[in-house]
Structures are given as C-alpha cells and as structure tokens.
C-alpha cells in the first residue's frame, strides 16, 4: 500500500507558512468583525463540509479521441480507496467515496468496507452502469446498445433492473444509503424511438427499482441533455428528472450535475426549483465551457459556483442542507489527485464566500427592487479573500492549508508510480 | 376599408396555372396511391387546418435598435382585422385572430365582433400585456419595471391581476375562450430577486386568474428563457411552465413558442412531455437561429417543424389535436402579410408531410431498433413534394394555390398604403 | 446644472471608513510583499486606468418589449456629460465619454468641448449610427431598413458613408481620435442577400471612410453575430472583422465587445488572435448570459473578465496596452450611473487581479505542461481581495473608495430628478 | 473477400420499381420544364458528384462512454476498401476513400493501391493522427498528451511533423493528392498554455509540412471549437484556420467540418467567406444537434445542408467547384454502410435541390430587397421532390435507385459477418 500522508507529516511539510497564516487569518477576522460576521462560525461550517470523491476519477480520464494514463494509476478498487484517503488527508473534506459498478465490483464487500474504515472513509451514493455492455450486466446475450431501461425489449429492461438491484444490494453491504441512476438512454436520429414510450419504460423501471430500496435509501435521478445520445436523451432536463423522480416514488430525488445543461441554462434557478418542490437530492460538481466537459470545479465560472452554493445555503437556512455532494470530473491532463484537491478547495472557497453573504440585507434589497444594492451585497462576500478561513478549516481537520503543495511534496504520486507501475489505465472513463 | 380579395378574384388571378396544378396533383396522387396513401384524406386534413394570426404582427416589427414601418400599416384593431381577412382570403387557413391588450383595446367590443364576423373571422386566445407601463394597466401610479405577477409589492401584483381579468372579460365579449399569459418577469442581475419567492407569487397570481376563468376557458402559460430578462426569467422553461399550470388549476395548459428555448433544445421532445402529462395547450409558431428571433415559420429548420407536427399528429391519433395554434413572428424586413402567408403555407406543407408518415411502419422500426429504417420512413414523407396537396386544400377553401403571388397581384398593399398612409407604425413590437 | 461631487465632499462622505481602509491596505501589502509583489506598482497601474463611459448609457436602457426611464434622465448631450462627470468624480476612472451620432449631435461642438474640459472630460471614440433612419442621416428619401454600407443601392451606401464622414469631422472638432463602426447590416432570411456581395460593399465603404481619417485617427470595426439581424450579419465574427479592418486600411483595428459572441466562444483567445496580428484596437466592456445582454461588466462571469485582462496585460508586457477601452451596457433596471460605477469598479478589480499574476511562473508552468500549477498561479491572483488596492487607487485620483455608496449619499440623482424631471427617456437604446 | 454487389445484381433487385420510377421522372421532368429547367442537366451534374468515404467510419463508432460493434466489422484496411466498394456499388457516388494513419498503415501500399483499383476506388485526402499515442508516431518515448504541433517541447513537435511527412509519403504511394490536418491541440484549463505561442508553433509546423508537399498536393487545415480540448483549441474557428493556412503556404486550404462550429454559427456564411478569400479547400459532411455529434448528413437540418450546397454551386458558377468532399460521421447505432448510404443519398438530394435554384431570379430579388421573393425562390427548389433525379443519376452510374434497400437485400452485411465474425471493433473512433 502506498505511504499514508499523516497529519504529522502535513504539519511538518507546512511548518514554514504557519506564521503568515496566523497573521492573514487575524486580519481577515478583524475585517469580518467590522462587517458583523463571526469568522469562527464560518470556519466551523467549512470544516464540517465533505464532498465525495468518485472512484472513477482517481484514474486519468479521456475522450473518445484518446486517453493518456499517467504513472501510478490505481489497479483496483482498494487502490482507488487508497488514493481517496491520500486526497482526504490533504483536504480533510473527502470523507466518502462514490463507487461505480461494474467498474468497481468487489469480490468481498465486507473486506472492502473494513479497508475503507481503516482509511477513515465511508461509501457515498452508488452508481450503476447500463451504458456499456459487460459480462456482469448484459452477460453476452443482450446488449445496451439501443438502451437499457428505455429499451423496446423487456428482457433488456429486466437486465438493467437486475443490475441496479445488484448495485443497491452491494451498497447495503458497504454501508451506502443511495444510488444514483444516470442513464445514457436516448436516440441519435429523429424517429429512432418514441419519446413517450421511452419515458414510460424508464419511469416504470425506476419505480420497480424504488420498490427495491431499503429503508433510509435514496434513489437519485440524474439528467443530461446529450452525450452519448446525440439527438435526444430520455432524462434530458430537470423537468423530466422531476417527473421521473415523482413516478419512481417518495424516496426519489433529483441530482444536478453542473455540466449537464444546455448553453446558457441558469443552473442556480434550476436548483431553486428542485429545492422548492422538495426533490433536490444531490450534486455532481464540475465545470464546463462547451458541452459536458467535466472540468475542474469552478475553473471556468467560479462565480456561478458561488451563486449555486448561495442558493443551497439559503435552502438550508444558513448552512448547506444535508444532500449528496459529489465531485464528477474527468482528469485528462492534470494528475487526478491534484485535480480533485483543487476541486475540493474550490468548493470550500465558494462555500465560505456564500456563508459571508448578508442574506437579510439581500432580502431587503430584493424587496426594495434595489438590484445595484443586491449586487454590492453579493460582491462584498465574493471578493473577500476567504483562503485563511478555508486553510484554518482544513488545519482543524488535520489536513493541509495548501493541499496541492503538500500532495506534491509528500511524494505520494512517485510512491504509487513505483508501486503500481505506469501505462495502465484505471477503470472508468 | 381596403378592397377585399374574393374567391372569384383569386380564381381569375390564378387562371393561368390551373392545368399544371391538375396534372401535378394527379401524378402526386398516383405516387401516393402506390405507397398506400389516400391523397384525398390528406387534402381534407390540410384543408381543415387553421392557425390564428396575431394582431400585433400585421404591422412591421422591430428590435430595440429600430423599426422601419412600411406603407399601409393598420391604424386600428379594425384595420388589423381587415388585414387578417385579406390574409385568410389567400391562405384559407387563418380564420381567427389573436388580440393583444392594451395594444388592442376596442371601445366597442360588440361592434368589433360584428366586424370580425362580417370578415369571416373569430377571436382566438387573448393576450395580456404586463411587460410595459400603460395608462390602462399601471395607470401612472405603479410600474411593471420590476415585474408584474412576480413583483415584491402586492399592489403591483394586484394591478397585473386586474389587467388579466379585464382581458378575459374582453375576450368573453368577443367570443374568445382562452387567455395566453406570457410574463417578462425575471431579473437582469444575480441576486436581484429570490427565485422561489418570484415563482410563488406568479403561481398565486395565476391561480387567482384561473378562478376568474369562465366555463370552457383555458389559461395558457408561456415560457421563455430570456428576453427581456437577461439573467433569469420566472417562467423560463417547460418544467416551470408545467409547475405553474398545475398550480393555476385544471384548465391551465402550457403553450410552446418555438423560439423560446435554449440553444439545442429538442423541442419535439418537450412537446411530447407536455402532451404526455395532459398539459399541452397550444403553440406560437415561428423559427429562430440564435435567440428568440421570431422569424418566418420553418425558414431556418423546416425539418424540425415537420418533426414537431409529426409529434402532434401522433398525439392526435393521426390528426392534429384541437389545441390553440397561433403564429408569432416579427416582420421586420418583409411585408407582414406576405410573411404571414409564407408562414401559413409552411405550416400547411409541414402538416401534409407529417400526415404522409407511415406511423405503423415507424413504430415497427422503433420496436426493432432499426434507426436507419426509421429515418427512411421519415424521409419518404418529408421529401415528398406536397405542394399540390396544399394548393388543392387551399382551393377547396376558396383561397389561393399561390398565396404570395395572389396577394401581390391583388394590389392589396398598394390599396392600404393609399388609404392608410405611410410612416405610421402599428401598435405592437 | 446638477451639483458637482467634489473630492472634498467625497472625503467628507467617507470619513468614517478611513481607518479600516488603512488597516486593510496595510495587511494586504504585507501579504503581497511575502509573494514578492510591490503593492505600490499595482496601485499606480490601477490609478492610471480609465475607461470611457458611453453617452447612450447614462439614460435608462430598454428592450424591444419596453423601456422604463427613471427620474433625472439627461435631456441633452451636455447633461450626459454632467452625468459622466459625476460618475468620474466617484470612480476617477471615467475620464472620457464616447458619443453616438445622431443621438448626440451638438449644434456647437466647440462649446461642448469647452463644457467637457470644464468637467475634466475628453472625447473618446465616436460612434456612428446607420441602423436607424433619421432626418440627419437618411433624410427621408432613403432608408437603412435593408442595410447601410451593405445596401444594394449605391445611393444608400453613399448616405452611410456621408454620415460616417460627418461623425469623423465632428470628432475632430471635439478632440476625439477614433471612430467605431458597428453595422447592423445583415439578413433575417436565408437568400435575402448574397454574403459575398454584402461583404465587398462593406469593405469598400470602410476603405473609403478610412481615406477620410485625419492623421492619428483609428477606425474600429466591431463584430456581432446577431441582433438586430437574425439570420446573418455581415461583420459577424472576429475573422470577418479582421478581413474588414485589413481591407479598410492600415489604421483600422478590431474592437471586441464582450457580449458579441456565440455561446461558448473563448473570448480571451479571440483577444489573443487579434493582438497577435496587430489589429486589436479596443473593447466594449459588458457581460452576457444569453445573447447580447449588455449586462454589468463582470456580473455574470468575473473570472472570464480577469482572463481577458490578463491577456491584455501580457500583450502590454505587464501593463494594459494603450487601446480604446469603453463600457457598453444597457441599464434597464439599475440606475445608469450606479451601474456604470459598478462596471468601472469591476474593471479596476479585474485589472488589479490580473496585475497580481506571476507571469514568469505561469510561463514556466506552461512550458512544463503543469496545468494544475498554472491553475494555482491564476487562483493565487484571482482570489486575492484587491479592494484595498482599488480603493487606494481611486483615493489617489480624488475619487471615492466606495463609488456606489458615495453616489447614493451625494444626492446626485435626487438633484437631477428635481432639475430635469421624470418620465423622459434619454436618447439611446 | 465479401461478395461484390454488381450492377446486374442491382438491376435484378430493383426490377419491381422500374416502371414507377420512369413515371415519376417523367412527371418531374414536365414540371421542371414548365419552370424552364432542363432535368437532364441536373441529372448529369448529380451523376458526376462523388464524395469520399472515410475509412474510419465503416466500423461502428462510439463515444467515451462506450462502443457497441456490430457483426462484420472490417479487420483491415483492405476490408475497409471492400466495404467502401459495396457502398459505392449502391450509391455510385463514393468513388474514393479517405485513410487515417496509423489506423490505416498498409505494409504494402502498392498492393493496397492495386486492390483499390480493382474495386474501382481511388484515394482521397489522407488524414494524420497526432491526438493519440502510437508506437509508429510517438514511439513510446514521447507523448501527445499535452499536444503535438503546439507542444512546448520541440522533440514532440518534430515527431508530429515526422508523422505528417510519413502520411504524405504514403499518400503519394497511394495516388492521393491531399492531406487533412486536424489537430486536437488545445487546453482544458485557463492558463494551461499561452494562446499565441501555441498558434505560432502550429503555424511553424504546418509551414514545414507544406514544404514537404509534392507538386499538386493540397494541405487542408480543419478547425473545431472543442473536443477533445475543453477550454481552448488552437485551430478553433475559421478565422484561425485561415490564418494558419496562409501561414502554411500557397497550397494550404481550409476544410469545413459541418459539426465543428459553436451553437448558432451561420455555416453557409463561413463557407462564403473562405471561398471569397480563395482558401476554401474541402468539407467533412455530417450533421449535429448539440456538439460535434457526427450524425448522418442532413439528418438534423437538411435545409442548412441545402443552403451550404447552394453557396457552393454559386461559388462554382452553377456547378459544384472541384473541392475535397468527404463524409465524416460516427455510426454508433446504425449499420455503418447503411448510414453512409443515407448520407450520400442526402448529399445527392441537397445537390439536386441546390441546382434547381433560379440563381438569376434570386440575385434580382436580392438587389430589389425582396426578402419574401427570395424565400419563395429557395422554397421552389427545396420543396421539389428530386428523388427521381437522384435515382436516375445513380442508375446511370450503375448503382441503385434505392441504395439502402438494395444494400439490405444484397445480403452484404450477413456475408461479412459470416466471413469476418462479430464482436471485433474496427480501428477508428
């Protein structure tokens, strides 16, 4: 197993900057105090935040044009957990991992769970895969080429359902309490399928899956307008996702992936709508410039991320509501762990900024039709340099003030490359 | 009053091409007969079709950058009806007009109704206007600058409701049975308003308006992602429109304007979704290349129009279902009547094409995962030159085989220009 | 004339926050010092920055759906200058004004110039208007309805040229040294015009206009993909703008309006391309979520603004290159002066952030294929709270640390409303 | 080798519909004669048309999410040629094949050329691949992960150049006369690379490659806004492509892929621009609804395809100009040969429609600002059912009136599946 990055090692690696951090935090505290904000409360809320790392994203990602794996790719689900543990060591905010079956299909779930516990990790929402053929799902006699839950052939739909039930059962064994169902089902050509019949089949399948959920479990429906389907996708937008969640049952919720929207979509308003009707269930965080780019969280439009988190903080009455928070990125040119560390850092920054918003003043500006005043209130929070808060929150969690720097200086990647070798591609996209 | 275009005059103007039409229709009939299609049934269905002309579109349209009215713009609602009568004379398929209040606010509704009846016209859905201030709506003491139904101030919301009630009452006097509510309410700046409170206010207002509906009336909610609001719009998408219609009441339906979608939206799937849940109520037909361009129906992507009509024909079990069909274009550089004639013609063409689709064979191809076969079936219908069918349908309605040609040769525009003068801009956009 | 906002009055109005500012600037200085950055150099560069205010944007803007003027709209070009002087008083960074003819068409240019000088203002690029008919341009006998420079009729093209020459001559009288030519020329319908002939006519017209430029003058070509033209625009993209500038002559440059791009355009790369070929001439700053929204600079994606300014700082070798910088917004729901103050503030913030980027380290990361490292370098600059720098730069220019706050407390708007009245709409959009 | 589909076999398979075809063609001929169009000239022009089939598209395509190969995938470049020969047998319009190296890297080019000649095929533009690592290109010691021609490391750039030279040399051996260079070079993250240095390196590389071109050869630069690069692409738009082609040398031209444009791009205007400056070199035909979807030509917006071909016919003075025409699709759910047959058919249909446009009347309408008249002229051509023309053109080439039907009835796919087996995926995407 690769070397663990301990809190002690982190303190050692970051000894140099400690004094500067104390000074920066103190002056920020004074500034916030002037604005009537208790910096300690913000630090506590940031420290409490955790976002799941996806098991498929600790390996190098790719596109249909190619994939360039780096050294030290994880060769197994166990090693994916090791990598997430290393990530969590530096961020303190990735305490769970989200598995993807059959990319992850542990022969001994109990052993994997013990391994996770030893690493201080738990299992977040499970993910099922019905967009590829695999011996453990389609088994060679059927195919998901023309759909899974939406397929015209009931045998294929049954196979999709079986796989999803299997994933739930596996999740139970691992201690997970949710399953995210993202379906590639759709069409590439006008006329290829009937929109309504496709929807009805998917709704029926999700309702059956919902019937299989243990107590306390949540079924998350995830929409996406295109890719891999190029002309239509069954669960294409939040409106459809909501109809499907309602058709599935009371424990179904909608998951919002930040990259799964048509150009120009006001995502923060979509979040508000789903929260309003009580069906907002979780997030896949990433960023996007064109299509579903799966880029580093907040790397293209960090202000949009801030606005989304502000919507969530409002929904949670001043704190993040207890939803499922996951990162979903594709790390094609950055080291996956470095990219995940930057993503987590960006989320912590945006959360801290959102917590700084004077929501009472904002509501007053809104009621007074003072758009300029409202903008000032948002900017007052967004422009604040919250890095000392975030660094302090991480420190209190035993993690690094500077996650990327510590990750690099820790030698973790060199160690895994030595141990695991190079040129192998981890399972995933 | 401008010269009427009579069926006799049309026959006279088109005498030259009659023989060719007969020949073309005969050979098309033979071709369709080979494909097992009864051309007479298609002609009858096309002849039965009618689409409302919008009163605001018989004048030259414009943009925020300017407006260039042509000669003969209608100076009153009566003259707008005269223009629609001229349009209907050549198309035979614009038997109703859709008014917009207060751009149209007849002092004597009974007299206007009699004028319409004399012209062979009826009144389609009424449209209310709460996106501009006007003495008859905001009255000078309140303003819709910061919203109408979504406004923070209850007095403004009440004024919006009053205006809408007034429009319903006016519609009753005119024999209309529907009101379309398109709201500009939204924001231009992040933070300007609270998404949820805006939604709740609009939902409440629509529910109150729904309570005012007479028996047999329909309330249509119309969504649009942006313009005039530039950061968020309350009724931005079909998902919101559906939530609003359901909140309003059982007689509320969703209206789909073809130009009111984000880039890449699969509009035909949106149509299917709303039809599926029983809330599809009507259409504003136009086309768009970028934003809400209000261009001639089918002028940018006629195949998409065909696919939408095919969805409707499927929804109607082989014929167009009895929804509210309206044109909504902005005629900036074409003569408005010519543009409306082209729009109506395009709708008739697309309808005929959709009726030619072998839907049983299509369903079989879909169930057999035969995407190439399905594409052939659609192309077999779409590529058919249906102009003889459309021309025949119009002839049977006493209208013109070639609406644009007859309109030009009739001298209608020159007559209105002489009578009404030039340089005036009709009310509307 | 409305009350002037003097430096003394500003100091008085902001006396309360002086101590906090000193403290914040000191701790920021220490932090930057640790990073090897001289805060004084950044303050000086920010203080040197100025961006032109557009004369058409000191009145309330609108859309084709309506316009809701506020109180105190300027009634004349002189009053527009008064408003810009008030703006410049609080920002210290709007030392020029950009006129738009014939919305601004001073009877006595010399007097206007003296008025400007008394206000401490100069005249930035002139703007010509050939997208509307006006007695002083089309004169009633021709029309720009079907185009200006691209019109099929040479008489219309000549009229467009005459107007542009007139604008240059007026600019000479006012001390301006540039003309920005934004053309609405395009089409709404496929086939309406021939793309190539349209281009050739525009190129010829611009070349003739270039021949009329006095020494030291610059001709700026401004592209825009759509609006008001809805199917095609002659100068639709940077590629066309470059071809047109080259066809016009050596003193022609391309102007980039941040809102004039198709969804997803990488504007910072467009900036790089035009800079690379030596034809980058200037900017119209604003922001956009959908189409050309003309929203407050940086209000939708401030990070993109930062990246654009970083590109410019690199182009200028560490400082902003001497291009034409203008704001171009439409102020529909905010007070225009408040919106312009926020826009200017945002530009100063983004400039300060861009100046903080360690460009040598960035180049090293780029050469080392270290994408994660490059991202850290950008974030280190972007996340810095540069408000103390910007506030200090403004103070040194005799302006306000908090422009919006001072503007509100100064009573300027109330004074203009009292003097100028309400309900009038200033010329412009 | 799979069974060849001979002209005799085609006649036999289509014997049933011959009489109907004769009748349909005759009545179309009469109709066109009335409009003053010589149907024979149109048939001849359509019969002369040929479009290259891409070697990578005769296998089943996929996305990053998966790939579902069908039976009978070609196992070698020879078998890809066999498939294109079968395609050409039914369409008569795919007389060339476009290879992609190293997916195609024949050990014996002379033998492959003989094989092609026996099949009646020639080699169209060659395609190089520097977006994947491969022993024959990067060789294990360098990688294209961070770029090829744009890479910071000169050794990688040199390797990219070497590979391209190799492709040219291979093309010479095969009788090709062009190379298409599509580069994936770009970035996924702001700051990852310097836009200008990337451009300059690519320009330099292309100039060196241009120096290696034999007489009569053309170098085609192909732009694409995104994918696989997700934040910026070096050759992102036609403006950059033009700058690169000019930098490369006099025999460089720009290639337009219909799917490589931002949402809303007016592609027909882009075509006009490149034609105008003498640098339009070729096409990759496909269609797209969202991103670069690589869908069947004309399957999403056939009217746009018609407008593009009309632009080309105008550029060619009434006939298609002698450019490089290729199909570039990804066949994920349709049988690849069926999809290619539909694509070719659609191109023939659109060409026939474009040839029917009365261009003199169109020019007159344009000069007369008659947008409605221009629209009528386009519709008169587009709505014509040109299938008899296209069928006749194919017949005269010894091919099938109904390519898809004949392909299915020929048993070709069953024969290849039997011969080649199932479950293998051809090289390509």
- For B174-183, the pLDDT digits (tens) are 999 999 999 9
- pLDDT over threshold 90, residue C306: yes
Chain A residues whose CB is inside 8 A of the B237 CB are: 237-239
Round to whole Å and give the CA distance between B360 and B366.
10
- pLDDT over threshold 60, residue B356: yes
Instruction: Tell me what the mean pLDDT of segment D420-427 comes to.
Output: 79
Residue in chain A nearest C353 by alpha carbon: A383
Are B318 and D318 a contacting pair, CB within 8 Å? no
Helix residue ranges, H only, A60-108: 77-91
Round to whole Å and give the CA distance between A29 and A20.
14
- Write down the pLDDT at residue C283: 98
Mean pLDDT of the residues in chain D: 96
- Write down the pLDDT at residue C424: 72
pLDDT band at D11 (very low <50, low <70, confident <90, very high): very high
pLDDT band at D74 (very low <50, low <70, confident <90, very high): very high
Angle between helices A195-211 and B267-276 (to 10 degrees): 60
Question: Where is D178: in which H helix or E strand?
Answer: strand D178-182
All residues at 6 or more sequence positions from A222 whose CB lies less than 8 Å from its CB, including other chains: A180, A181, A182, A235, A241, A254, A255, A257, A260, A284
Round to whole Å and give the CA distance between D59 and D69.
7
| Contact call for D375 and B296, based on CB within 8 A | yes
Strands B186-187, B232-233: pairing kind = antiparallel
Instruction: Tell me what the mean pLDDT of segment D375-403 comes to.
Output: 98
Chain B residues whose CB is inside 8 A of the C294 CB are: 230
- Write down the pLDDT at residue D5: 96
Measured over the CA atoms of residue D299, residue D303, residue D307 and residue D313, the dihedral's sign is positive
| Contact call for B338 and D372, based on CB within 8 A | yes
Select the residue of A65, A144, A334 nearest D131 (Cβ to Cβ): A65
- For B237-295, the pLDDT digits (tens) are 999 999 999 999 999 999 999 999 999 999 999 999 999 999 999 999 999 999 999 99
Round to whole Å and give the CA distance between C243 and D95.
37
Are D276 and D315 a contacting pair, CB within 8 Å? no
Select the residue of A133, A228, A300 nearest D63 (Cβ to Cβ): A228
> How many helices and strands, by DSSP H and E, does chain A display?
16, 14
| Contact call for D239 and C236, based on CB within 8 A | no
| Contact call for C273 and D243, based on CB within 8 A | yes
| Contact call for A263 and C263, based on CB within 8 A | yes
Are C279 and C239 a contacting pair, CB within 8 Å? no
The four Cα atoms C54, C60, C66, C68 give a dihedral, to 10 degrees, of 180
Chains with 3+ CB–CB pairs under 8 A to D are: A, B, C
Instruction: Tell me what the mean pLDDT of segment C401-427 comes to.
Output: 91
The three-point CA angle A53-A57-A59 to 5° equals 130
- Write down the pLDDT at residue C3: 73
Round to whole Å and give the CA distance between D183 and D161.
12
How many residues are present in chain C?
429
CA distance C316 to chain D (A): 14
Mean pLDDT of the residues in chain B: 96
Q: Is ipTM over 0.85?
A: yes
Select the residue of A34, A334, A372 nearest C20 (Cβ to Cβ): A34
* A-C contacts at Cβ under 8 angstroms: 75
| Contact call for C65 and B146, based on CB within 8 A | no
In this structure, how many other beta carbons lie within 10 angstroms of the beta carbon of residue C133? 16
The first and second tokens of residue C22, run together, are 């000193």
Q: Verify cis geometry, omega within 30 degrees of 0, for the bond prior to C228.
A: yes
Select the residue of D68, D290, D299 nearest A133 (Cβ to Cβ): D68
The three-point CA angle D348-D353-D355 to 5° equals 95
Select the residue of D23, D30, D349 nearest B383 (Cβ to Cβ): D349
Q: What is the largest CA-CA distance in chain A?
A: 69
Round to whole Å and give the CA distance between D13 and A409.
72
Round to whole Å and give the CA distance between B251 and B204.
15
- Write down the pLDDT at residue D140: 86
Q: Which of D251, D130, D243, D233 lies closest to D181 in space, CA to CA?
A: D130
- Write down the pLDDT at residue A424: 72
- pLDDT over threshold 90, residue B300: yes
Select the residue of C30, C382, C404 nearest A372 (Cβ to Cβ): C404
Select the residue of A34, A296, A385 nearest C385 (Cβ to Cβ): A385
Q: Which of D354, C150, D368, C201 lies closest to B334 in space, CA to CA?
A: D368
Round to whole Å and give the CA distance between D44 and A350.
65
- Write down the pLDDT at residue B426: 76
* Optimal mutation site among D66, D151, D156, interface A, most CBs of chain A within 10 A: D66
CA distance D276 to chain C (A): 7
* Cα separations in angstroms, A86 against A79, B268, D31: 11, 48, 76
- Write down the pLDDT at residue C429: 67
| Contact call for D369 and C152, based on CB within 8 A | yes
| Contact call for C273 and D366, based on CB within 8 A | no
Are C25 and C390 a contacting pair, CB within 8 Å? no
CA distance A87 to chain D (A): 21
- For C142-166, the pLDDT digits (tens) are 999 999 999 999 999 999 999 999 9
Residue in chain B nearest A267 by alpha carbon: B232
* Optimal mutation site among C186, C266, C317, C373, interface D, most CBs of chain D within 10 A: C266
Mean pLDDT of the residues in chain A: 96
DSSP structure string for D301-356: -HHHHHHHHHHHHHHTTSS--S-EEEE----SSS-HHHHHHHHHHHHHHHHHHHHT
- Write down the pLDDT at residue A390: 98
Select the residue of D192, D226, D293 nearest A230 (Cβ to Cβ): D293
- For D313-341, the pLDDT digits (tens) are 999 999 999 999 999 999 999 999 999 99
Question: Where is B304: in which H helix or E strand?
Answer: helix B302-315
Chain C residues whose CB is inside 8 A of the B429 CB are: 64-65
Chains with 3+ CB–CB pairs under 8 A to A are: B, C, D
Residue in chain C nearest B297 by alpha carbon: C189
Instruction: Compute the 3-state secondary structure of chain C and give helix, strand, coil in percent, each to the nearest 5.
Output: 50, 10, 40
- pLDDT over threshold 60, residue D1: no
Round to whole Å and give the CA distance between D371 and C193.
8
Q: Verify cis geometry, omega within 30 degrees of 0, for the bond prior to B228.
A: yes
Mean pLDDT of the residues in chain C: 96
Q: Which residues from B are below 8 Å from D when comparing CB atoms? A: 20, 23-24, 27, 30-31, 34, 263-264, 266, 289-290, 296, 299-304, 333-335, 338-339, 342, 349, 369, 371-372, 375-376, 382-387, 404
Q: Which long-range contacts (CB under 8 A, 24 or more apart) does B273-277 make?
A: B273/A195, B273/A199, B273/A239, B273/A240, B273/A243, B273/B238, B274/B238, B274/B241, B274/B242, B275/A196, B275/B311, B275/B312, B275/B315, B275/B321, B276/A196, B276/A199, B277/A243, B277/B242
| Contact call for C334 and A376, based on CB within 8 A | no
Strands D96-98, D62-63: pairing kind = unpaired
Burial of C405 (0-12, 13-18, 19+ CB in 10 A): middle
- Write down the pLDDT at residue A422: 81
Chain A residues whose CB is inside 8 A of the D189 CB are: 295-296, 299, 333-334
- pLDDT over threshold 60, residue D168: yes
For residue B21, the SS3 value is helix
Select the residue of A194, A273, A369 nearest B240 (Cβ to Cβ): A273
For residue C130, the SS3 value is coil
> How many helices and strands, by DSSP H and E, does chain B display?
16, 14
Q: Which of C77, C88, C75 lies closest to C121 in space, CA to CA?
A: C88
- For A278-301, the pLDDT digits (tens) are 999 999 999 999 999 999 999 999
All residues at 6 or more sequence positions from B222 whose CB lies less than 8 Å from its CB, including other chains: B180, B181, B182, B235, B241, B254, B255, B257, B260, B284
Supply φ then ψ for residue B96, to 5 degrees: -135, 160
| Contact call for B372 and D23, based on CB within 8 A | no
- Write down the pLDDT at residue B269: 98
* Cα separations in angstroms, C278 against A391, B384, C310, C363: 44, 53, 18, 22
Instruction: Tell me what the mean pLDDT of segment C218-246 comes to.
Output: 98
What ranges make up the beta strands (E) of C116-205?
122-123, 126-128, 178-182, 186-187
Rg (CA), chain B: 22
The first and second tokens of residue D184, run together, are 């994936």
- pLDDT over threshold 70, residue B371: yes
| Contact call for C236 and D264, based on CB within 8 A | no
Angle between helices D39-48 and D336-355 (to 10 degrees): 140
* Optimal mutation site among D266, D279, D302, interface C, most CBs of chain C within 10 A: D266
Residues in chain A, pLDDT under 50 = none
């Amino acid at each position: 197993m690769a070397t663990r990055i301990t809190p002690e090692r982190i303190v050692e690696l970051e000894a140099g900057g400690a004094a500067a951090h104390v000074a920066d935090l103190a002056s920020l505290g004074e500034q916030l105090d002037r604005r009537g904000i208790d910096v300690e409360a913000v630090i506590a809320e940031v420290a409490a935040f955790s976002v799941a790392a996806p098991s498929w994203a600790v390996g190098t990602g790719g596109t249909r044009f190619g994939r360039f794996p780096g050294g030290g790719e994880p060769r197994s689900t166990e090693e994916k957990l090791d990598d997430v543990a290393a990530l969590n060591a530096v961020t303190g905010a990735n305490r769970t991992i989200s598995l993807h079956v059959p990319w992850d299909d542990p022969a001994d779930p109990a052993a994997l769970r013990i391994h996770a516990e030893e690493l201080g990790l738990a299992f977040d929402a499970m993910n099922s895969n019905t967009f590829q053929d695999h011996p453990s799902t389609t088994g060679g006699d059927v195919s998901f080429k023309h759909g899974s839950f939406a397929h015209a052939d009931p045998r294929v739909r049954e196979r999709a359902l079986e796989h999803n039930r299997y994933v739930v059962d596996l999740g139970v064994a691992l201690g997970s309490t949710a399953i995210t169902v993202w379906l590639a089902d759709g069409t590439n050509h006008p006329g290829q399928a009937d929109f309504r019949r496709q929807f009805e089949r998917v709704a029926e399948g999700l309702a059956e899956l919902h019937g299989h959920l243990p107590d306390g479990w949540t079924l998350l429906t995830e929409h996406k307008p295109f890719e891999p389907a190029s002309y239509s996708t069954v669960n294409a937008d939040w409106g459809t996702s909501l109809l499907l969640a309602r058709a599935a049952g009371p424990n179904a919720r909608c998951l919002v992936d930040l990259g799964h929207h048509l150009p120009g979509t006001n995502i923060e308003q979509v979040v508000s709508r789903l929260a309003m009707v009580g069906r907002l269930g979780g997030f896949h965080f990433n960023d996007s410039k064109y299509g579903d780019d799966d880029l580093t969280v907040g790397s293209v439009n960090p202000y949009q991320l801030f606005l989304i988190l502000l919507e969530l903080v409002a929904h949670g009455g001043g704190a993040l509501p207890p939803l499922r928070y996951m990162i979903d990125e594709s790390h094609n040119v950055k080291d996956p762990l470095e990219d995940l560390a930057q993503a987590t850092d960006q989320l912590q920054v945006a959360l801290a900024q959102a917590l700084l918003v004077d929501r009472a003043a904002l509501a007053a500006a809104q009621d007074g039709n003072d758009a300029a005043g409202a903008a000032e209130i948002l900017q007052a929070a967004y422009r604040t340099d919250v890095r000392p808060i975030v660094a302090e929150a991480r420190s209190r969690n035993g993690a690094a003030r500077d996650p990327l720097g510590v990750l690099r200086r820790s030698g973790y990647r060199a160690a895994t490359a030595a141990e695991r070798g190079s040129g192998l591609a981890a399972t995933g996209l």
